[in-house]
Structure 1
Amino acid sequence: MSAPTTGTGTAAASGPPKTGTPLRLAPDVVATPLPYGGLVLVNAVTLQLTEFGEGAAAVVDRLLALGFPPPAAGLAAWKFAGDLIDAGWFLAGASADAAAPTGR
């Protein structure tokens, strides 16, 4: 079985993050739950947005809580996480606490 691909359709140069690597929203991205289920991610600088239905929103929540999925989660989970990283919605490898603004 070959390495999972990322959103560009090719394996990332350094490969996918290791299982459990923390994932967090990119610095200018805000997540807003929708009142009837689902989730919207908005980049406050570029004003890009992406909307997820209820099922995909649950996967986004799970990725943010548990980190990069294990291979056992399946190729679809790996690709979804990789696409979010490639598109700039998620960052991998740093804890959310380390990325929190200090207020200075």
Structure 2
Amino acid sequence: MKNVKLFAVMVMLIATNVLAANNDPKPVGKTVVKQLSTILGTPAFKVTEDDILANVRFMVNLEGEIVVLTVKAENDIVEEYIKSRMNYKKVEGDTLKKGEEYVVDVRIVAK
């Protein structure tokens, strides 16, 4: 049950926090949100104290793959988890423009 709640929170945060790097909000379709949440999945590590926040800056290359530029989080395990899960994963559709940078805030909630 905790994993389902964590997954739902991650989906909601991705849905509300995808912004272009130039602070010009771009509309993001449900398909992109679904893809990003599927790519991130549910982490295997436990969060027992405080919520963990991570700021992920990425772009989409010409092949339609996510290239993680930076991950800023208080926890190195979270940074490595996000990098390993998102980097060079394919994104279908043309909602995210190739060559543009995007920022996603991810919150992993302690339960």
Same fold (TM over 0.5): no
TM-score by length of 2: 0.26
If the length of structure 1 is used for normalisation, what is the TM-score?
Answer: 0.28
* Structure (1 or 2) with the greater strand fraction: 2
Larger Cα-atom Rg: 1
